[in-house]
Structure 1
Amino acid sequence: MLDLKFVRENFDLVQRSIAQRNGKVDLETYGRLDERRRQVLPELESLRSTRNDVSAQVARLKKAGEDASGLFEQMKDVGARIKDLEAELAQVEQELGQLMLTIPNLPHQSTPVGKGEEDNPVVSVWGQPPVFDFEPLNHWDIGVNLDIIDFERAVRMAGSRFAVMKGAGARLERALIGLMLDTHTTAHGYTEILPPLMVNTRALTGTGQLPKFAEDSFKVEGADYWLIPTAEVPLTNLHMDEVLDGDKLPLCYTAYTPCFRAEAGSHGKDVRGLIRLHQFDKVELVRICRPEDSYENLEVLTGHAEAILRLLGLPYRKIVLCTGDLGFSAAKTYDLEVWLPGQNRYREISSCSNCEAFQARRAGIRFKDKGRKGTTLAHTLNGSGLAVGRALVAILENYQQADGSVKIPEALLPYMGGQQTIKAAE
C-alpha cells in the first residue's frame, strides 16, 4: 500500500504510474474522500478542544459552587456535532482505506515502460537449447507414455487443472523439492520454514492478494481462511505487526508448499499439462531487508533462483518486466523463463520481485536501529526458487531421449536413489 500523504503530494506521479501499468483506479474518488477527510479533521479537533475547555470550566464552577447549567446546554449542540463528524470521519476513512488497497505499487525508475509482455527486455540468456534428431514431445505426452503422470484419474476425482504424479514422476517431484531446499538453506543461507497452508484475510491483504485477487483465490466456506496461492504469503507475514531488530536484517526464508490458485482469468490457457494447475508445488524465497539494500537483495535473490536452473542444466533467459506486465505489489520484477522444446518456447519458471515498502506498510513490518528514534518500514522481496512442477516439465522435455525415456540431471541423482533414467514399464 502506498502512503496516503505521498499519494496526496505526488498525485500526478501516481496517476502516470497507474496509467503505465494499464491500471484502473478511481483517483477522483480518492481526491474527494481525502479532501473531505482534511475538512472534517480540523473541525472535529477544534470542537473536541472546545468540549475539553468547557468541561474544565464546568469542573471549576462546580468546585466553586456556581451554576454550570448554561454550559451544559451550550455543549449539547457541540456534542451532537462531534458525534456526527466522528461517524462521517469513520465512514470516509473506511472508504479511503479500501480505495488505497486497490492502488498498485509504483514502478521503480529502472523498470522499463511498456504495455505488456511483448515489451519485456531480455537481460541475459544461459545455456543452449538441446538439438534433437527426432521430433521432441510435449511433457504431457512424455508423462503419459512413461506412466508417471495421470491426468484422467485426477479429472475424475477433482476436475480439470489437476494432475496425479505417480512412481518415478512423484519421486522426481520430491527430488526437485529436496535439491531446491538443500541448496537454498546450505549454499544460500535461507532459514527453512514449514508454514500453514491456510491464512486469514489479514495475511492475504498484507501481501497484496486481497482485495484485488479474491477471484483467483480459494476461500474456505464459513471461515476466515484462504488456501495460500504461494508461500510468499505466510513467509512475509511471519513478521506481521512486528518491529524487527535492524542489526539482524536481512531475514531470509525459504519454504516448500503446495500452492492453490483458481486461475479465474486463464480460461482457455494452458488447458493441457502441468503448466497452469489449481494445485502445484513451489519452493519460495523471501527476503526482508533495509530499504537501502533492497535492490542489491533483488539481484542476490534472483541469482539464487538462477542457481537451481544451472544446477539442473536447463537453458533459460532472464527478462525484466515492463510497467504494463508488472505485478500489483512489485516495484521491479525479473522473470526467469526456461526453454521447453516440446512447446518450442520459453516459459516462466520464476518471478523475483522487490515490493519495496508496499507489503510492509500493509502488513505492519518495521525495524528499529539501536540509538535511533522511531521505526522504519522494511522492504520485502520474494521469488520462486523454483516452481517445482514447471521444473519437472522442463526436465521431461529437455532431457527426453529418442527411445522415449528421460535422463535424470546429475544434480538430482542423489535424490533419485541413483536412478539415472526414467523408462516406460516393459
Structure 2
Amino acid sequence: MHDIKAIRDNPTAFDAGLKRRGLEALSPSLLAIDEKRRAAILASEQAQARRNAASKEIGDAKKAKDEARAAKLMAEVAELKTTMPELELAAKSADEELTKQLSSIPNLPLDEVPDGVDEHGNVQHHVFGKKRDYGFEPKLHDDLGTALGYMDFEAAAKLSGARFVVLKKGLARLERAIGQFMLDLHTGEHGYTEINPPLLVRDAVMFGTGQLPKFEDDQFWAIKGELLSAPNADLRSERLGLIPTAEVSLTNLARESILDEKELPMRLTALTPCFRAEAGAAGRDTRGMIRQHQFTKVELVSITTPEASKDELERMLSCAEQVLQKLDLHYRVMTLCAGDMGFSAQKTYDIEVWMPGQGDGGAYREISSCSVCGDFQARRMDARYRGPDGKPRFVHTLNGSGTAVGRALIAVMETYQQQDGSIAVPDVLQPYMGGLKVIEHGM
C-alpha cells in the first residue's frame, strides 16, 4: 500500500507512475480525502485537549470558590462529551475511506521497467538453450498423457468440474519428483529455508500480499458449515481463503513484526497446492494443464532491506533459472512492461519455457514470475526491521515461482517426448524416480 505522506510530498511523481500503469491521476482525490482526514483528526485532538484543560480549570475554579465559572466550564465539558464521539467517528471514517482507496491502487513501476500496456510491451532479457529438432510432429502434453493412460481429465471433471486433472502412475510420480527436486535444490544449494505453511488463511493475510480487496473473486473461500444456514450472517468475518500461492503464507510470516536486521535476508521456500478461481481468465488456456484451479508450485520468498532488494531480485531469478537449466529445458526471460505487471510488483521477470507441442513450432509459456515489491506489501502487513540506528523501517519483500510444478511437468513431457509416445526422464530426476529412465504405457 502507498504512503500518503510520499504522495503528499510528490503527487506529480505518483501520478506519473500510475500513468505508466495505464491509470488516471489519483493524487487530487486522495489528497482531498487526506485533507479531510487530517482536519477531522485535528478537530478531535483539539476537543480532547480542551476537555482535559477545562476539567483542570473546573478544579481551579472550585478552589477559588468561583461557582459561576465552574458551572460554565462544566457545561462546556458536558457539551464536549457529546460532540467528541462525533468528531472521533468523523476522523475514523475519513481514515477508513483513505485506506480503502489506497488499498486498491497497484504498486508503481521502478524507473528501469519498460513502458507498455500489455504483454506486447514486454522485453526479452536473455535466452537459455535452443529449440530441439524432432524427427516427428511433437504432441501436446494432454495428448501424450491421455495416450499413456496417466492423465485423466474426464475423471477429474466428475469429481470437481472443469480445470482439474487426475494424474496416475508414472506421471503422478514424475510430478512428485519434480517438486522434490526443486525443494532440494533451493534448500541445499540456494540457502532457502523450507516451510510447510497453512493452506487456509484469514482475510487480513490475503490483504497483506494484495489479493484483497481487488481480487476477491479470483480466490476460493472456505466457510464453516454451520454459518451457511445462519440468516444474514457476515461470512467474511468467519471465512478462510485457500492460498493462490504460498507467497501469501510465507510473506505474512513477517506480518506485525519488527525483525532484527541481522535476520535479513530471510529466504523461504515451500512446496504447496495452490488454488485459483481464475475468474478473470474465462476462455483462456482451457485445454490441458496450462491453467488449472488446483496446481502445485514451489514458491520462493525473500524478506530483506531496501538497499539489498534489487540485487535479491537478480539472485532469485538465477535460483529459479537453475531449475530449468538442470532440467535442460529451453526458456527465455522477459522483463515485464509497466502495464503487464502484477498488482504488488515494482519490477517482474517472467521465465517462459518452450513447449514444443503448443502449436506449429511450439510456444513459450510462463513457468515462473520473480518480482520485487519494495515496501508495498510490508506496509499492508506492518512488517518492519530495526537497523543499527534502532529505528523501525519497513522491509522489502520479493516473491517468485521456483517453479510451477505442473507447468514444469508438461514442459518435461513435451520436451522429452519420444516418437512412440513415451517420455524420457531427465537425468536429474531419475534418482527421484527410483532410477526409472522412461515413462511408457503400462508402467
Q: TM-score range by the shorter chain?
A: over 0.9
Is 1:276 the counterpart of 2:306 in the alignment?
Answer: no
Is 1:408 the counterpart of 2:425 in the alignment?
Answer: yes
Q: Which residue of 2 aligns with 1:419?
A: 436
Q: Is residue 25–residue 102 contact of structure 1 (8 Å, CA) maintained in 2?
A: no
1:294 and 1:116 map into 2 onto residues whose CA distance is: 25
Q: Which residue of 1 aligns with 2:48?
A: 48
Q: Is residue 51–residue 77 contact of structure 2 (8 Å, CA) maintained in 1?
A: yes
1:314 and 1:186 map into 2 onto residues whose CA distance is: 21
- Cα distance, 1:17 vs. partner? 1.6
- The aligned runs of 1:125-274 (5 Å cut-off) are 125-221=127-223, 222=235, 223-274=238-289
Q: Is residue 127–residue 315 contact of structure 1 (8 Å, CA) maintained in 2?
A: yes
Instruction: Classify the secondary structure of the residue corresponding to 1:303.
Output: helix
1:25 and 1:97 map into 2 onto residues whose CA distance is: 17
- Cα distance, 1:9 vs. partner? 2.1
1:117 and 1:226 map into 2 onto residues whose CA distance is: 29
Which of residues 354, 376, 380 in structure 2 aligns to 1:362? 380
1:169 and 1:298 map into 2 onto residues whose CA distance is: 32
- Kindly provide the amino acid, as one letter, of the partner of residue 180 in structure 2: G
Deviates more, 1:24-33 or 1:156-165: 24-33
Instruction: Classify the secondary structure of the residue corresponding to 1:85.
Output: helix
Cα 1:263–1:136 change in 2 (3 A) is same
Q: Which residue of 1 aligns with 2:34?
A: 34
TM-score, normalization by structure 2: 0.93
- Kindly provide the amino acid, as one letter, of the partner of residue 83 in structure 1: P
Instruction: Classify the secondary structure of the residue corresponding to 1:106.
Output: coil
Identical-residue share of aligned pairs (%):
46
Displacement over 3 Å in runs of 4+? 23-29, 62-66, 76-81
How many residue pairs align between the two structures? Answer: 425
Q: Which residue of 2 aligns with 1:285?
A: 300
Could you list the per-position Cα deviations for residues 97-146 of structure 1 after superposition, in whole angstroms to 9, with x for gaps in the alignment?
11110111111111111111011000000011111111110001001011
- Kindly provide the amino acid, as one letter, of the partner of residue 373 in structure 2: C
Could you list the per-position Cα deviations for residues 126-169 of structure 1 after superposition, in whole angstroms to 9, with x for gaps in the alignment?
01111111111000100101111110000011000000111001
2:251 and 2:191 map into 1 onto residues whose CA distance is: 17
Deviates more, 1:128-137 or 1:9-18: 9-18
Q: Which residue of 2 aligns with 1:321?
A: 336
Q: Which residue of 1 aligns with 2:227?
A: none
Q: Is residue 19–residue 25 contact of structure 2 (8 Å, CA) maintained in 1?
A: no
Q: Which residue of 1 aligns with 2:226?
A: none
Q: Which residue of 1 aligns with 2:315?
A: 300
- Cα distance, 1:61 vs. partner? 2.6
1:25 and 1:193 map into 2 onto residues whose CA distance is: 41
Instruction: Classify the secondary structure of the residue corresponding to 2:239.
Output: coil
Is 1:9 the counterpart of 2:9 in the alignment?
Answer: yes
Over the aligned positions, Cα root-mean-square deviation in angstroms equals 1.4
Could you list the per-position Cα deviations for residues 73-98 of structure 1 after superposition, in whole angstroms to 9, with x for gaps in the alignment?
12333333333221111111111111
Could you list the per-position Cα deviations for residues 42-99 of structure 1 after superposition, in whole angstroms to 9, with x for gaps in the alignment?
3332222222211111122334554211111123333333332211111111111111
2:21 and 2:146 map into 1 onto residues whose CA distance is: 40
1:165 and 1:65 map into 2 onto residues whose CA distance is: 89
Instruction: Classify the secondary structure of the residue corresponding to 1:291.
Output: coil
- Kindly provide the amino acid, as one letter, of the partner of residue 289 in structure 2: L
Q: Is residue 115–residue 323 contact of structure 1 (8 Å, CA) maintained in 2?
A: yes
Instruction: Classify the secondary structure of the residue corresponding to 1:362.
Output: helix
Cα 1:25–1:154 change in 2 (3 A) is farther
- Cα distance, 1:337 vs. partner? 0.3
Q: Is residue 115–residue 324 contact of structure 1 (8 Å, CA) maintained in 2?
A: yes
Q: Is residue 129–residue 329 contact of structure 2 (8 Å, CA) maintained in 1?
A: yes
Q: Which residue of 2 aligns with 1:346?
A: 364
1:268 and 1:373 map into 2 onto residues whose CA distance is: 52
Instruction: Classify the secondary structure of the residue corresponding to 2:279.
Output: coil
2:23 and 2:151 map into 1 onto residues whose CA distance is: 39
- Kindly provide the amino acid, as one letter, of the partner of residue 376 in structure 1: R
Q: Which residue of 1 aligns with 2:402?
A: 385
Q: Is residue 120–residue 322 contact of structure 1 (8 Å, CA) maintained in 2?
A: yes
Q: Is residue 25–residue 103 contact of structure 1 (8 Å, CA) maintained in 2?
A: no
- The aligned runs of 1:14-25 (5 Å cut-off) are 14-23=14-23
Q: Is there any run of 5+ residues in structure 2 with no aligned partner, and where? A: 224-234
Q: Is residue 374–residue 397 contact of structure 2 (8 Å, CA) maintained in 1?
A: yes
1:213 and 1:42 map into 2 onto residues whose CA distance is: 35
Q: Which residue of 1 aligns with 2:348?
A: 333
Could you list the per-position Cα deviations for residues 334-361 of structure 1 after superposition, in whole angstroms to 9, with x for gaps in the alignment?
0000001011110000000000100111
Could you list the per-position Cα deviations for residues 345-380 of structure 1 after superposition, in whole angstroms to 9, with x for gaps in the alignment?
10000000000100111101100124x232011000
Q: Is there any run of 5+ residues in structure 1 with no aligned partner, and where? A: none
Cα 1:284–1:102 change in 2 (3 A) is same
TM-score, normalization by structure 1: 0.97
- Cα distance, 1:13 vs. partner? 1.9
1:355 and 1:35 map into 2 onto residues whose CA distance is: 28
Cα 1:24–1:424 change in 2 (3 A) is farther
Instruction: Classify the secondary structure of the residue corresponding to 1:385.
Output: strand
Could you list the per-position Cα deviations for residues 205-237 of structure 1 after superposition, in whole angstroms to 9, with x for gaps in the alignment?
001110011010011134330000000000001
- Cα distance, 1:30 vs. partner? 2.1
Cα 1:25–1:411 change in 2 (3 A) is farther
2:144 and 2:260 map into 1 onto residues whose CA distance is: 50
Q: Is residue 124–residue 319 contact of structure 1 (8 Å, CA) maintained in 2?
A: yes
Cα 1:163–1:25 change in 2 (3 A) is farther
Instruction: Classify the secondary structure of the residue corresponding to 1:32.
Output: helix
- Cα distance, 1:16 vs. partner? 2.1
2:284 and 2:248 map into 1 onto residues whose CA distance is: 25
1:314 and 1:35 map into 2 onto residues whose CA distance is: 55
